[in-house]
Amino acid sequence: MAINPQTSALIMIDMQQGFIDERSSLWIAGAQASVPSCAQALEAARNVGMPIWHVRRSYSFDGSDVEPVRYQQWLQGDKPLCAEGPWPQSLEAPSELVALDSERLLVKPRFSAFFETDLHEQLQQEGITHVILIGTTTPNCIRSTGYDAISYNYDVTVLSDATSSRSEAVQAANIEDMATIGMTIMTAEEFAQALQG
Amino acid sequence: MAINPQTSALIMIDMQQGFIDERSSLWIAGAQASVPSCAQALEAARNVGMPIWHVRRSYSFDGSDVEPVRYQQWLQGDKPLCAEGPWPQSLEAPSELVALDSERLLVKPRFSAFFETDLHEQLQQEGITHVILIGTTTPNCIRSTGYDAISYNYDVTVLSDATSSRSEAVQAANIEDMATIGMTIMTAEEFAQALQG
């Protein structure tokens, strides 16, 4: 899959301390380890002027808009999680992944970055036909976003080492499923090389 | 998870010959074997008056609305697949799973039964708060529908033996992921017993 920087977008999902920091009850085991690969992908995209979306989960202070299936988990540990308040960094990216002023921010209420957001309209407006997904967590937000993207007829590439899961087995099984349905899988290094080539 | 037949719905997805019949290029290895469990779930729901939705994939005759990632696969084998034409049974359920006149039919254009359909509005109108998912294929349509359902705040139950995948390993990995995010997993027999209890 050739990558045209003019019609492709890099979409980074949920790389915020509420999922990366071990103190969070929504912590993802593999997320911290994927930060360097996410940073590599951001740099590669910036070098060729590819548009970048930073997608973040944000809940209300009292948790009233948390998914019911996840509310008990949200209540545990430091709070409020992924919300404004005493732990604001749960909304923030690690220093290596902070957005530049020229890059897009998108808050999403659920797993898929397309669910009840205007991401599709934004991408259409920019002429994007191919989305490259990085971030966390592979079985939930990355995969849901990928399926919505292919449903909207986008080409989809997932960077395997710039996404993360609760275990290596879960990561591998999800990557295999996404490859089977027709998403392209590559590493951040392969992505960077494809953009230089 | 208690199941209230007044506020729950059984949703059967893509149990049509285009996915069940081995002649189809979109054939799912495990789908035929799940027919008896699907029939058991339908009977159990009918016995208590639980509303049932039969969800089907339907493409246009020329394949122009097939997902781009799937178009080459769609072109293979008997055609047109899941479309009106010389192989109309590719749209039809096996005899054990045919809808009754009183049951709902829903055509969906993509993986999730919620994607660009009015399923959410229909369920809301009927006061449904809990969806029970059966059908095929677990990693694609069942899972996408399940994630959309929890995103809309429904309780979600997936019947493990009334859903199917290209392999046992894929089935098991997807069931585990759905359990982890908070969907309830049970067999068709357990579902039938829960409704009698």
Q: Could you report the predicted ipTM of this complex, rounded to two decimals? A: 0.94
Determine the pLDDT at residue B12: 98
- Other Cβ atoms closer than 10 A to B130: 20
Determine the pLDDT at residue B80: 79
- What average pLDDT does chain A have? 94
Residues B121, B127, B132: CA angle, nearest 5 degrees: 85
Name the β-bridge partners of A156. Answer: A131
Q: What is the mean pLDDT of each run of 10 residues along chain B (197 residues)?
A: 91 95 90 98 98 95 90 82 82 95 96 98 98 98 98 98 97 98 98 92
Q: What are phi and psi of A79, to 5 degrees?
A: -140, 165
Quick one: pLDDT band at residue A1, thresholds 50, 70, 90?
low
Q: Which amino acid is at A93?
A: A
Tokens of B80: 């047109």
Determine the pLDDT at residue B76: 86
Which residue among A110, A151, A166 places its CB closest to the CB of B115? Answer: A151
Collect all residues of chain B within an 8 Å Cβ-Cβ radius of residue A144: 144, 147
Q: Is B14 on the interface with A (CB under 8 A)?
A: no
Q: Where are the beta strands (DSSP E) in A98-196?
A: 104-108, 130-136, 155-164, 184-186
Q: Is B111 on the interface with A (CB under 8 A)?
A: yes
Determine the pLDDT at residue B153: 97
Per the CB < 8 Å rule, is B177 touching A182? no
CA distance to A7, A10, A38, A114, B145, per residue, from A134 (Å): 17, 8, 7, 15, 23
CA distance to A16, A88, A89, A182, B102, per residue, from A24 (Å): 11, 12, 11, 33, 48
CA distance to A196, B56, B100, B154, per residue, from B146 (Å): 39, 16, 24, 9
Those residues whose C-beta lies under 8 Å from the C-beta of residue A150, and which sit 6 or more positions away, are: A156, A181, A182, A183, B67, B68, B69
Say if residue A114's pLDDT is above 90. yes
Say if residue A124's pLDDT is above 80. yes
Which residue among B147, B153, B170 places its CB closest to the CB of A111? Answer: B147
Measured distance CA(B156)–CA(A195) in Å, rounded: 42
Q: Which amino acid is at A70?
A: R
Per the CB < 8 Å rule, is A112 touching B151? yes
Measured distance CA(A181)–CA(B25) in Å, rounded: 13
Those residues whose C-beta lies under 8 Å from the C-beta of residue A22, and which sit 6 or more positions away, are: none
Kindly state the average pLDDT of the residues A155-168. 97
A contact test, residue of B65, B143, B177, B185 with most A CBs within 10 A:
B177
Per the CB < 8 Å rule, is A166 touching B180? yes
Residue in B closest to A26 by C-alpha: B181
Q: Is B115 on the interface with A (CB under 8 A)?
A: yes
